[in-house]
Amino acid sequence: MKKAFYKRLLNITKDLKTDYIDDIRTSPGDFTRTRKVTVEDLFLQMVASKGTAQKNEIHNFYKDVNKDMDISQTAFFNARMKFNPEALVTIMQDLTIEEYENPEDLVSLNDYYIFAIDGSEMILPHTDEIISKYGTSQNIDNYGEAKAMASLSTCYDCINKLFLDVKLNKYKYSERDSASEHLNTIKEILPKNIKYLTIFDRGYGGIRLIDQMLENGQKFLIRLASNIFKKEQSQLSSSEDDQWIDIEYDVNRSNAFRSDKAFRIKLLNTSYKLRFVKLKFIDSKGKVSYTVFVTNLTEEEFNTDAMYELYHLRWGIESSYRSLKSQFNVEDFSGYRDPLIRQDIYAATLVYNAVSMTIAENETVKEIPADRYKYEMKINRNFALGVLKKDLLIMFVLYKNKKAVSAAQKRFEKNIVKYSCPVRKERKKNYERVVKGHSKSKLSYRRSF
């Protein structure tokens, strides 16, 4: 039987000095001697962050683990500066990829895992170092200064609520370049036998990114801006709103790529046959609008109306950023230096995944007593993520305190029930979803085992 996610995270904590020390060190001489601040302490403190100032974080951590704080704030700060933030991403990915190798707690849609790639703006501490590295917004605040900003970009599993990759880039860093990097990463780390598709919003539509995904055998669905592939979009009509269309480039159309001679030559000699789908949307006031999507999914994999459900799922990545900022307080940094900022962000995504998977592990077995609720219950994950974080961290950070861990486990299981919402018996995993103004769409959500 597969170990619980938080227990596997605990095992990694104990093996940091052996399995991850090369990833953790920023220079070869780091963490070679026995010090008062251990690598394990640093890691536990980062994932247990409460979004307060570093002095308070250190005090709270040592109080929580029942240790004497026999160390200065400066010494702890210096030790954290030696801890490579990217090691946290590696640990997060190693744990998460195990889920796709043994997917008994994961859910797919029509045999596909549904990913999304998108970004969010982050407000950073206003220091010269941070401004120099990441940049500032164009807007001036009440104090006559432009806020220090960065672009956070992630690849996210929209159904299973898991981060697969995370990058903190310069403010207004190219969305398409970020997406390209994420796609290369997930191609490298995911098991080769799984099926997944990636959904993109406007801003990501472009032939170079599409070419990369086609070359890598990656499925995609991209919402198009009106000025992208205008020629192909114009071929769609109300009677033929789902067509396979050839995209071809001549000398004039390929002008934008003249600085990349090899890719331009490829464009001039390649015909891209892709599926363009025009969908009708009706807002709350009854206003009708149309949006065009491009994809390499076949009609057998996802028909026209199924595209509504796919694009609706993309909202999961937007919710994940809201959770990171409001429930995980990711913008309340414990320090002003760049490594500390990235540590806080990457540790938050690791904890997010740990909470999400712990919910999923409980979700498959929890059923609400019949005398309390009329219907079977499903966990409200978006709300539970923030509420359950505290108990999970107690189970994780205070693992040596068996009494505290046992009490936290009981609270966790109790709250799993408390923060559940009803799922009516007539609803099935293979259900029909009605979209305003459209026919019904049949989709099949199922667990991957």
What is the per-residue pLDDT across 60-73, written as a single tens digit (0 to 9) for each? 777 766 677 677 88
Mean pLDDT of the chain, nearest integer: 83
Q: Give which of 30, 165, 15 is closest to 92, Cα–Cα.
A: 165
Measure CA 123 to chain center.
18
What does the pLDDT read at residue 60? 74
pLDDT single digits (tens) 384-436? 655 666 666 666 666 666 777 677 777 776 766 565 554 444 433 333 333 33
> What's the structural domain count of the chain?
1
Asked if residue 430 belongs to a domain, the reply is no
| Window from 37-46, 108-117, 170-179, 344-353 with minimum mean pLDDT | 37-46
pLDDT single digits (tens) 122-136? 999 999 999 999 999
Q: Give which of 152, 118, 172 is closest to 342, Cα–Cα.
A: 152
Partnered with residue 379 across adjacent β-strands are 420
What is the length of the chain?
449
Question: What percentage of residues in the chain have a pLDDT greater than 90?
Answer: 55
The answer, yes or no, to whether residue 237 has pLDDT greater than 80, is yes
What does the pLDDT read at residue 357? 86
Asked if residue 291 belongs to a domain, the reply is yes
* Sign of the alpha-carbon torsion through 41, 94, 196, 434: negative
Partnered with residue 422 across adjacent β-strands are 377
Asked if residue 376 belongs to a domain, the reply is no
Higher pLDDT, 185 or 56: 185
Q: Give which of 191, 218, 196 is closest to 101, Cα–Cα.
A: 191
Asked if residue 372 belongs to a domain, the reply is no
What does the pLDDT read at residue 143? 67
The answer, yes or no, to whether residue 74 has pLDDT greater than 90, is no
Alpha helices per DSSP H over 323-444: 338-363, 381-397, 402-418
- What residue has token string 């801003």? 203
Q: What is the mean predicted confidence (pLDDT) over 144-148? A: 83
What does the pLDDT read at residue 4? 77
Question: What percentage of residues in the chain have a pLDDT greater than 70?
Answer: 79
Strands of the sheet containing 107-109, edge to edge, are: 107-109, 440-447, 430-434
Asked if residue 89 belongs to a domain, the reply is no
Q: Which of 14-23, 218-227, 318-327, 413-422 holds the top average pLDDT? A: 218-227
DSSP state of 86: H
Asked if residue 183 belongs to a domain, the reply is yes
60: helix, coil or strand? Answer: helix
Q: Which two tokens stand for residue 99?
A: 């889920």
Q: pLDDT band for position 442 (50/70/90)?
A: very low
Q: pLDDT band for position 205 (50/70/90)?
A: very high
What does the pLDDT read at residue 429? 33
What does the pLDDT read at residue 423? 47
Burial 385-394 (b: 16+ CB within 10 A, else e): bbebbbbbbb
285: helix, coil or strand? Answer: coil
Asked if residue 23 belongs to a domain, the reply is no
| Window from 138-152, 245-259, 334-348, 392-406 with minimum mean pLDDT | 392-406
Spatial neighbors of 76 by CB under 8 A, at least 6 apart, are 37, 54, 58
What does the pLDDT read at residue 224? 96
pLDDT single digits (tens) 3-48? 777 778 888 888 898 899 999 999 999 998 877 788 988 888 888 7
The answer, yes or no, to whether residue 292 has pLDDT greater than 90, is yes
What does the pLDDT read at residue 160? 92
What does the pLDDT read at residue 372? 44
Spatial neighbors of 180 by CB under 8 A, at least 6 apart, are 208, 209, 212
Q: What is the DSSP string of 127-143?
A: -HHHHHHH-EEEEE-TT
422: helix, coil or strand? Answer: strand
Q: Residue 155 belongs to what domain range? A: 97-321
Q: pLDDT band for position 179 (50/70/90)?
A: very high
The domain that holds 266 is classified in CATH as 3.90.350
Partnered with residue 282 across adjacent β-strands are 288
Asked if residue 103 belongs to a domain, the reply is yes
What does the pLDDT read at residue 376? 46
DSSP state of 280: E
pLDDT single digits (tens) 333-368? 988 999 999 999 999 999 899 888 887 877 654 444
How many CA atoms, within 13 angstroms, populate the side-chain half-sphere of residue 36? 13
The answer, yes or no, to whether residue 437 has pLDDT greater than 70, is no
